[in-house]
């Protein structure tokens, strides 16, 4: 009997040991749900955060944006109004920004709505369906339940700002590639971003056969914007090898499309690790001018001590000393010119003044108007007897 009890106890302990990790794993909250707190200022959560079966994924393929998880939670304000908050967590900032520019702008904005930077989170879009923003690797959509949001109603924006304050800023801005688009300040409101071929094809407004040769393996990303009638697409590859292989495939694809009589880009060029496309341009000159504005800027960072630091310090020293010498010579030259100029003006003023005074004075002469130098009496002795003495007349 004691042996039977001992065996039953060991069996129960073994079962508990097997199922304990599973229960612990189920108890760990979803990463997206954990980012939706119970209280956000005057907004209180009703119920726990849920992971919908489809939610925002009904409109997209999660893998196309690198989505890791999503959650939705209901919030109620102090005046009793209800709001739905959908949160999507991606594997990086680029995926969240891509989700905002492609999905968020369509679901929460309107055709005339532009993406705003610094209003809510890192970038946001507001429209009749609510407010959407991204910050770090997180995309958030806030909408009022029971109808469209009125233009003067700022409650969704307040709720979005409250939630944005609790999120990590990540890189603190849009992806660097987006900033390298020509005239970024002008096109930022409608520029698109993609981390997969499917999203890129959707961003450019339709299938572009040449883009089928672009591979997003290795973490490639793409930015696109319109300039007049032209559509610019810049694809950045993580290494020169990826860029070279892709360039070869793209050129081969362009030649194949030409042979088949199918549409080809108005211009294409590899710029560093970028593959630059221009579609629908009015002419070759316009397309080439747009490509010329794309500059590849690389940022090399050493994990340890930079072996070129001494050379860079010497170069900075030489540049600084050269600047000091040039500045000294310039200052000396300017000082000399200034002294000569001031001296010339002062001397000219004195000369003209004396000349004017001399011309204005009346001269007397017994030489018919000529000057006469009288030196005859200089050395002649003066007789004292001939001088009139004191008191004599």
Measured CA to CA, the distance from residue 291 to residue 202 in angstroms comes to 22
Measured CA to CA, the distance from residue 132 to residue 107 in angstroms comes to 9
Higher pLDDT, 379 or 181: 181
Length of the chain: 393
* In the chain, % of residues over pLDDT 70: 78
Asked which of 246-260, 277-291, 358-372 is least confident by mean pLDDT, the reply is 358-372
Contact 136, 100 (CB under 8 A): no
pLDDT surpasses 90 at 351: no
Higher pLDDT, 302 or 77: 77
Determine phi and psi for 43, rounding to 5 degrees.
-110, 130
Mean of pLDDT values over 220-247: 94
Using DSSP, state whether 69 is helix, strand or coil. Answer: strand
Measured CA to CA, the distance from residue 240 to residue 300 in angstroms comes to 14
Mean of pLDDT values over 315-323: 84
Tell me what pLDDT residue 29 has.
Answer: 41
CA-based nearest residue to 199, from 347, 100, 340, 297: 100
Q: Which residues contact 335 (CB under 8 A, 6 or more apart)?
A: none
Please report which helix (H) or strand (E) contains residue 158, including its range.
helix 155-164
pLDDT tens profile 22-41: 333 333 344 888 999 999 99
Question: Tokens standing for 96?
Answer: 């969240």
Tokens 């194949």, residue located: 256
pLDDT surpasses 50 at 228: yes
Half-sphere exposure of 388 (CA within 13 A, CB side): 3
Measured CA to CA, the distance from residue 285 to residue 267 in angstroms comes to 9
Tokens 């495939």, residue located: 249
pLDDT band at 54; cut points 50, 70, 90: low
pLDDT tens profile 322-337: 888 989 999 999 999 9
pLDDT tens profile 161-177: 999 999 998 888 899 99
Using DSSP, state whether 162 is helix, strand or coil. Answer: helix
Tell me what pLDDT residue 375 has.
Answer: 56
What is the pTM assigned to this prediction?
A: 0.67
Asked which of 192-196, 202-206, 382-386 is least confident by mean pLDDT, the reply is 382-386
Question: Tokens standing for 255?
Answer: 């030649």
CA-based nearest residue to 99, from 217, 179, 195, 171: 195
């Amino acid at each position: 009997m004691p042996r039977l009890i001992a065996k039953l106890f060991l069996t129960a302990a073994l079962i508990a040991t097997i199922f304990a990790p599973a229960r612990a794993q189920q108890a760990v909250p979803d990463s997206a749900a954990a980012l939706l707190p119970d209280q956000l200022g005057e907004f209180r959560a009703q119920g726990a955060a849920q992971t919908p079966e489809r939610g925002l994924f009904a409109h997209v393929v999660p893998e196309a944006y690198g989505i890791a998880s999503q959650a939705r939670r209901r919030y109620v304000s102090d005046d009793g109004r209800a709001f739905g908050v959908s949160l999507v967590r991606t594997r990086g900032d680029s995926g969240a920004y891509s989700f905002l520019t492609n999905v968020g702008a369509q679901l929460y904005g309107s055709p005339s709505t532009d993406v705003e930077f610094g209003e809510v989170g890192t970038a946001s879009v507001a429209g009749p369906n609510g407010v959407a923003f991204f910050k770090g690797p997180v995309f958030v959509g806030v909408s009022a339940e029971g109808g469209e949001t009125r233009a003067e109603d700022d409650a969704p924006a307040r709720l979005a700002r409250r939630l944005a304050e609790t999120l990590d800023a990540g890189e603190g801005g849009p992806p660097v590639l987006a900033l390298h688009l020509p005239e970024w300040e002008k096109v930022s409101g409608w520029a698109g971003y993609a981390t997969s071929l499917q999203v890129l094809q959707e961003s450019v407004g339709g299938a572009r056969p040449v883009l089928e040769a672009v591979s997003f393996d290795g973490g490639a990303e793409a930015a696109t914007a319109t300039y007049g009638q032209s559509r610019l697409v810049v694809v950045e590859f993580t290494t020169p090898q990826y860029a070279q292989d892709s360039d070869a495939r793209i050129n081969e694809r362009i030649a194949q499309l030409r042979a088949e009589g199918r549409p080809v880009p108005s211009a294409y060029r590899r710029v560093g690790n970028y593959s630059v496309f221009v579609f629908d341009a009015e002419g070759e000159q316009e397309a080439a001018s747009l490509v010329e504005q794309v500059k590849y800027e690389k940022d090399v960072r050493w994990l340890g001590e930079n072996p070129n630091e001494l050379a860079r310090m010497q170069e900075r020293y030489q540049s600084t000393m050269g600047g000091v010498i040039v500045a000294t010579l310039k200052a000396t030259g300017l000082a000399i010119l200034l002294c000569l100029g001031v001296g010339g003006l002062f001397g000219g003023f004195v000369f003209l003044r004396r000349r004017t005074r001399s011309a204005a004075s009346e001269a007397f002469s017994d030489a018919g108007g000529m000057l006469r130098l009288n030196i005859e009496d200089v050395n002649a002795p003066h007789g004292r007897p001939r001088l009139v003495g004191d008191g004599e007349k």
